[in-house]
Amino acid sequence: MQRLSGLDASFLYLETRSQLMHVIGILEIDPSTVPGGYTFTKLRDELERRIAGMPAFRRKLDNSLLNIDHPVWIEDDDFDIQRHVHRVAVPAPGGEAEMADLCGHLAGQTLDRGKPLWELWVIEGMADGKVAAMLRIHHAGVDGVTSAELLAQMCTLTPEAPDLDPDRVQETAGGSSRTTMAVTGAVNYLIQRPIALARLIPDTVRVPIGWLQRSRADTAMPAPFQAPRTRFNAPISPHRSIALTQLSLDDIKRVKNRFGVKINDVVLAMTGGALRSYLIEHDELPEQPLVGMVPVSVHGADESALVTGGTNKVTGMFTLLPTDLADPVERVETAAELARKSKAHHADIDANMLRAWAQFAPGTTMATMMKVYGDKRLSLRHPPIFNALISNVAGPDFPMYFLGARVTAVYPLGPIFHGLGLNITVFSADGHLNVGILSCTDQAPDVWAIARAFDEELKQLLEACD
C-alpha cells in the first residue's frame, strides 16, 4: 500500500466530467519492423509480458470512509490486459487529421477508477501503412518526467524483445489494509500536517514580499491573474480538439545557435508567434502579451522536509509570450530575455512549496468546489490565471522501437482546465521536435491552424538565419 502525495491526489480531486486529468502520448509506429510481422494480438501479448516488470501499470486506487488522508495505491490482483488495450480503425481516408480527430474523441472519455488508471488504443488502417498508439494515463500517476520514463520502459533500442528486470517483476504496490490506511491517515492529518503548516507559513509569506520587490525592480515573472482574456480562458466541455506537427530538431538548433538562445526559448517564441497568428485570424489578439505557464520538474532536487515521495514532482513558472511583436527574430530575442527573468525569479522560490501546500488538499471539499466552479462557469468571473500551458520534455535522440515497431513520432498531450483551455507540449526525440496541441473543441474547433502556424514560424526563422 502506497499513499498518494497531496499533489498526486489533487489531480483526482480536480477531475470532473469536463475537466479530465489524464496525460496522453500518441505514438506513430512502423509495424514493418516487428520481428515475425505485426499483429494486434502479438503487440498486446508483448505489452502484457513487459507490464510484469512495470509495477506502475499494475496498481490501482483504494480508499476507505475511515481514511481522512489521501487515497492509496494497491496492487491490482485481478489485472487483465484486455481491459486496458483496445483496437480501433481510423476513419477513411486514414490521414493524420482523421487519426487526431479519433484521438480527440477518446481524450474526452473518463478513465475507470476501479482499475489501473491507464489504457492503450491501437489505431490501425492509416493510409501510409503506419499504426498509431494512443496511451492515456491519469496525471495522479505520472508527470512529464515519469511519463517519459514509462515510455522508455515500453521502448527499446532494437526491435527484439528485452529481458525483464527481476527486481522490477518482484516490485509491488502491496495489498489493502483498511486499518493501516485509517490509522496512518489519521497520524498524517492530525499530527504531521499541523507541524508542517507551522513550518510552511513563514516561507510562504516571503514569496509575495519578494515578488513585490522584484516587480518594482522589473525582475519579476508575471503574477497569476494578470493575463489578458482570450477564447481559451473560458469554461470547457468534455470535447477535445487535437492537432499535431513534427519539426526538424536540426532546424531548431540552427535557430538556437544563430541567435544565441536556448531550445526552450525558440519553442516559447514559436508558441508566441503561432498564437499571435491564430488570434489575428480571429480578430482577437490582445494588445497585452499573453502569459504562459511552463511546468518545471523538480526531480533530482533536494526533497523538502515538508513533503517527500509522490510521482508528480513539478512546479510552475510564469513567463510572458511575445505575442505583441510582429517580427519573428524580435520574438526569439524577447522570449529569451523574458524566460531568463522568469527563471531567475523562479529559482528564488522553494521548488517544493507547491507540493508542500498540496498535502493539505481536502479531497471531498476540493472535488465539490471544482464541480461548482465548472457548473457555475466561475472562470469567467475573474481574470485568467494564465493563457496557455507550455511544456517542453526532452526525449532520447536516437531511434526507438515500441514493442518491436519503429517509432516515427511521439506527440505528448497534457490536460486542460476551466479557464485554461490550451495545452501545448513538445517532445524532442530522434532528431525531431514533436508538437502536441490540445484544446476544447468549443473554444478552438480549428486547432490545426495553430499547428500550421508552428510550421510557418520555423520557416520564417530559418529565412532570418540566412
- What CATH number is attached to the domain comprising 338? 3.30.559.30
Element (H, E) at 87: strand 85-89
Q: Are residues 294 and 176 in the same domain?
A: no
Distance CA(238)–CA(378), nearest Å, equals 17
Here the CATH number for the domain that contains residue 89 is 3.30.559.10
Is residue 85 assigned to a domain? yes
Q: Catalytic residue, from 139, 345, 346, 432: name it.
A: 139
Based on the fold, state whether residues 170 and 229 are members of the same structural domain.
no
Helices (H), 376-465: 448-465
Integer Cα distance of 50 and 152 in angstroms: 12
**Does residue 153 share a domain with residue 275?**
no
Last residue of a domain, one of 161, 182, 203: 182
In terms of phi and psi (left: phi > 0; alpha: psi -120 to 50; beta: otherwise), the region of 327 is: beta
The answer as to whether 207 is a domain residue is: no
Question: Could you give the C-alpha distances from 129 to 25, 32, 106, 357, 449, in angstroms and in order?
Answer: 20, 9, 22, 49, 26
Structural domain ending residue among the three candidates 154, 182, 210:
182
Written as nine digits, the cell of 62 is: 483504494
Full pLDDT tens readout for the chain, 466 residues: 899 999 999 999 999 999 999 999 999 999 999 999 999 999 999 999 999 999 999 999 999 999 999 999 999 999 999 999 999 999 999 999 999 999 999 999 999 999 999 999 999 999 999 999 999 999 999 887 777 778 778 888 999 988 988 998 999 999 988 899 999 999 998 898 888 889 899 989 999 999 999 999 999 999 999 999 999 999 999 999 999 999 999 999 999 999 999 999 999 999 999 999 999 999 999 999 999 999 988 765 555 545 555 777 888 999 999 999 999 999 999 999 999 999 999 999 988 888 888 999 889 899 999 999 999 999 999 999 999 999 998 888 899 999 999 999 999 999 999 999 999 999 999 999 999 999 999 999 999 999 999 999 999 999 999 8
**Cell reading at 298:** 523538480
Structural domain containing residue 93: 2-182
> Helix, strand, or coil here: 389?
strand
Helix (H) or strand (E) holding 131: strand 131-138
* pTM of this structure: 0.94
For the chain, the C-alpha Rg in angstroms (whole number) is 22
Residue 25 and residue 413 in contact, taking contact as beta carbons nearer than 8 Å: yes
**Domain check: are 360 and 451 in the same one?**
yes
pLDDT at residue number 374: 95
Q: Where is 137: in which H helix or E strand?
A: strand 131-138
Residue 193 resides in a domain? no
Tell me: do 229 and 331 sit in the same domain.
yes
Residues 139 and 272 grouped into a single domain: no
325-364: b (≥16 Cβ within 10 Å) or e: beebbebbbbbbebbebbbebbeebbbbbbbbbbbebebe
Question: Distance between CA atoms of 347 and 273, rounded to whole angstroms?
Answer: 27
**102 and 17 within one domain:** yes
Residue 355 lies in a domain: yes
Q: Is there a single domain that holds both residue 113 and residue 229?
A: no
Active-site residue, 345 included = no
CB 61 within 8 A of CB 71: yes
When divided into structural domains, the chain yields a total of 2
